[in-house]
Chains A and B, each alone.
Chain A
């Protein structure tokens, strides 16, 4: 069965909504204090330096204010960190993930089967990591990449097995815990996630994927992803996420650090489909060296509230960045996404393209910053933000900040906000499409620039999520 067929057969809300009875080997107490951190660190058998980093991050978290007062930003007043369970270790025998799906407990294997991950692995991926609750439970990569020195492993395992590299790069130069309150929280209680290391001049030609699943009510997931692409290397990393919906809120606060060395190329794609009770507050950042290229592709469909602004720091001459973001907000959702680019060297280049769709009273915001430093001459940036609204109840705001401190630069900005056009719908209907299909066609065309850059499997997945979002709301 091709995964295309598989996706069709499993194409219902139930595909994401199913819940598994919670079985865990270890579960932290609700709330957050020094004792919790020590217990988590001990359960992971971490070196002392990591414990110290966690404790320092906790101090930052406790001392920093909530990010309030941003115009139109999601309301975070419900987010009480002391009400969540920060750490749940699923009941599996092998720490760091098994490398055969059959070695997983049935309920966990079944979860990922339903999500179509093993099928996708067979067809189109170089490697897969799968996280359930707080830990990676499955991790595998094709042998050819291992032989070339590529590392793709669980972040906890990397702390043990690649200690020197992790110690140098982990929340030190890219996303320090002092960056923002949720980065600090993440630094204190991070668990799981991926570590990717690509040696010089190695091109990993099929994407590697990590899938993050929260199953338990009221938990928080705080996976950390660290990607190091050495000189001249190339890799495409995809992450997907989902959770069933509960009445209590869940919190996801991931941290992503990407190091793009000279002439390297990293593509980081996300399709986020958290349940509508999840607060999704992430910090994602890349540092790009000379002639390196970073691409962020983000699809935000799920969550109650998302605040996500992937950042690229163009540090070396000739470094470039490309952002493509799509946000889809339905009833009760506030998807606040954007992009940040810091042009810190000459001849750096960035393009940002944002597409957002809102319906049934949902809100999308584009919030972005492009900073061009004094001395970053011959740099260029192009920002395009388009918003499509289904009805008069839905809203969308565009806040594209620019800080240009250098005169010899090329800056372009375009923004459009529009309601889905009645004449467009009528035109398609007059050709035989019904009202729903006409609207879906217009939306699929609107997001086409992002879907055409995604691997086919993923584009199909994204389209299906959009379709699920639209189901029942049309007509």
Chain B
């Protein structure tokens, strides 16, 4: 079981002005749990998500983000594991290393990459993830040797390059996951998010999570821009992540709507860069009825 532990996280924008956005976020997400993170615009929800994934636009000024892993999480690693292999401070890692350890960020506004087909992209991403994962747990000496041994296969040759997951195997995997999400086969041949509708992009984010099988998935407003049919497809996909892969989900949303389909175990409310209130699913319904002012009053009166 994996645990994502956010401790007293303070962060600011990484530019000259350095506007403070997070003022001490504490949050813990375990495998198999679904958390909803709610809050008004500008409260720091998306920033929290981006910092977990390692976005370079933010500077962490205090606190830490720790990923705890256990033996089940590392069953695929062939190396002898030390104590430190089970506990990682994400802040010291590159975004792709975090991905290799099982962190996934579903983007609110996914990038459009022209000329790169979904199939090529996803297979390369999966193989890169698997490769990086082995490297992270290798002894440093071995690591150095490997680098000298030289040339890494380029991702540019498309489907013929090597990698742990071969073309045929990958296509089968992709087909299964796409069926699960009720996605048209044509998607596989389209360029990554290029010209996708808002809903298609969100569906694609969930598809990517299904293929990369993260331990913890942070989904930033995965429900915005979805019509009701697609909302159901996407919700099924998210539930499947949790039920079949045991992924822990941190879902950022403004609306109760998706929570009817993806029922959260925990609901957190963020205000001014901190989590000010946590509760069970009923908290989201209360919010729906009373709005954030109710939380604001409660928080600042008791404070």
- A residues lining the B interface (CB < 8 Å): 4, 8, 11-12, 421-424, 426-435, 437-438, 440-442, 444-449, 460, 463-464, 466-467
Asked if B160 and A445 sit within 8 Å, CB to CB, the answer is: no
Chain A residues within an 8 Å CB radius of B96: 429-435, 438
User: A467 CA to B129 CA in the complex, in Å?
Assistant: 21
Let me know if B91 is at the binding interface, CB within 8 A: no
User: A472 CA to B115 CA in the complex, in Å?
Assistant: 24
Q: List 30 interface pairs A-B (beta carbons < 8 Å), by A numbering.
A: A12-B151, A421-B111, A422-B57, A426-B111, A427-B113, A428-B121, A430-B95, A430-B96, A430-B104, A431-B129, A432-B99, A432-B100, A432-B129, A432-B132, A433-B96, A433-B125, A433-B128, A435-B96, A437-B128, A437-B155, A438-B96, A441-B113, A441-B116, A441-B121, A442-B113, A445-B191, A446-B114, A460-B157, A463-B156, A464-B154
User: A4 CA to B153 CA in the complex, in Å?
Assistant: 12
Known contacts A423-B111, A427-B111, A446-B115; A4/B54 CB under 8 A: no
Let me know if B175 is at the binding interface, CB within 8 A: no
Query: A422-B56, A446-B115 are known contacts; what are 13 more A-B pairs with Cβ within 8 Å?
Result: A11-B151, A423-B111, A426-B95, A427-B111, A432-B100, A432-B212, A433-B96, A433-B155, A435-B94, A435-B96, A441-B156, A444-B116, A445-B115
Chain A residues within an 8 Å CB radius of B95: 426, 429-430
User: A445 CA to B115 CA in the complex, in Å?
Assistant: 4
Question: Which one of B98, B99, B128, B156 lies within 8 Å of A444 (CB-CB)?
Answer: B156
Chain A residues within an 8 Å CB radius of B212: 431-432
Asked if A432 and B125 sit within 8 Å, CB to CB, the answer is: yes
User: A8 CA to B151 CA in the complex, in Å?
Assistant: 9
* Most chain A beta-carbon contacts within 10 A, residue among B57, B96, B111, B115: B115
Tell me, rounded to whole Å, the shortest Cβ–Cβ distance linking A35 to chain B.
Answer: 50
User: A449 CA to B191 CA in the complex, in Å?
Assistant: 12
Chain B residues within an 8 Å CB radius of A422: 56-57
* Most chain B beta-carbon contacts within 10 A, residue among A4, A428, A447: A428
Let me know if B107 is at the binding interface, CB within 8 A: yes
Asked if A430 and B53 sit within 8 Å, CB to CB, the answer is: yes
Asked if B54 and A429 sit within 8 Å, CB to CB, the answer is: yes
Residue of A nearest to B53 (CB): A430
User: A124 CA to B53 CA in the complex, in Å?
Assistant: 45
B 125-137 to A, binary, CB cutoff 8 A, 1 in contact else 0: 1101100100000
Asked if B155 and A440 sit within 8 Å, CB to CB, the answer is: yes
Asked if A445 and B116 sit within 8 Å, CB to CB, the answer is: yes
Tell me, rounded to whole Å, the shortest Cβ–Cβ distance linking A9 to chain B.
Answer: 10
Chain B residues within an 8 Å CB radius of A11: 151
Let me know if B208 is at the binding interface, CB within 8 A: yes
Chain B residues within an 8 Å CB radius of A429: 54, 94-96, 99
Residue of A nearest to B100 (CB): A432
Chain B residues within an 8 Å CB radius of A423: 111
Let me know if B3 is at the binding interface, CB within 8 A: no
Chain A residues within an 8 Å CB radius of B154: 437, 440, 463-464, 467
Tell me, rounded to whole Å, the shortest Cβ–Cβ distance linking A312 to chain B.
Answer: 26
User: A449 CA to B94 CA in the complex, in Å?
Assistant: 31
* Most chain A beta-carbon contacts within 10 A, residue among B96, B107, B208: B96
Which residues of B (29-59) have their CB < 8 Å from a CB of A? 53-57
* Most chain A beta-carbon contacts within 10 A, residue among B107, B111, B151, B208: B111
Asked if A424 and B113 sit within 8 Å, CB to CB, the answer is: yes
User: A423 CA to B113 CA in the complex, in Å?
Assistant: 11
Q: Which 9 A-B pairs have the closest CB atoms?
A: A445-B115, A448-B115, A432-B129, A427-B111, A429-B95, A445-B116, A431-B125, A432-B99, A432-B128
User: A444 CA to B156 CA in the complex, in Å?
Assistant: 6
Question: Which one of B55, B94, B110, B155 lies within 8 Å of A441 (CB-CB)?
Answer: B155
Tell me, rounded to whole Å, the shortest Cβ–Cβ distance linking A455 to chain B.
Answer: 14
User: A388 CA to B126 CA in the complex, in Å?
Assistant: 27
User: A429 CA to B124 CA in the complex, in Å?
Assistant: 11
Asked if A441 and B124 sit within 8 Å, CB to CB, the answer is: yes
Known contacts A433-B128, A441-B116; A426/B156 CB under 8 A: no
Chain A residues within an 8 Å CB radius of B151: 11-12
Asked if B115 and A467 sit within 8 Å, CB to CB, the answer is: no
Chain A residues within an 8 Å CB radius of B129: 431-432
Asked if B160 and A4 sit within 8 Å, CB to CB, the answer is: yes
Let me know if B65 is at the binding interface, CB within 8 A: no
Let me know if B105 is at the binding interface, CB within 8 A: yes
Asked if A430 and B99 sit within 8 Å, CB to CB, the answer is: yes
Tell me, rounded to whole Å, the shortest Cβ–Cβ distance linking A474 to chain B.
Answer: 12
Known contacts A432-B212, A433-B96, A445-B116; A427/B124 CB under 8 A: no
User: A53 CA to B276 CA in the complex, in Å?
Assistant: 88
Known contacts A437-B128, A444-B156, A445-B114; A426/B100 CB under 8 A: no
Which residues of B (87-125) have their CB < 8 Å from a CB of A? 94-96, 98-100, 104-105, 107, 110-111, 113-116, 121, 124-125
Tell me, rounded to whole Å, the shortest Cβ–Cβ distance linking A363 to chain B.
Answer: 23
User: A466 CA to B157 CA in the complex, in Å?
Assistant: 11
Known contacts A441-B121, A441-B155; A430/B113 CB under 8 A: no
Chain A residues within an 8 Å CB radius of B105: 430
Question: Which one of A438, A446, A463 lies within 8 Å of B157 (CB-CB)?
Answer: A463
Chain B residues within an 8 Å CB radius of A467: 154, 156
Chain A residues within an 8 Å CB radius of B157: 4, 460, 463
Chain B residues within an 8 Å CB radius of A446: 114-115
Residue of B nearest to A466 (CB): B156
User: A444 CA to B111 CA in the complex, in Å?
Assistant: 16
Tell me, rounded to whole Å, the shortest Cβ–Cβ distance linking B175 to chain A.
Answer: 19
User: A460 CA to B53 CA in the complex, in Å?
Assistant: 33
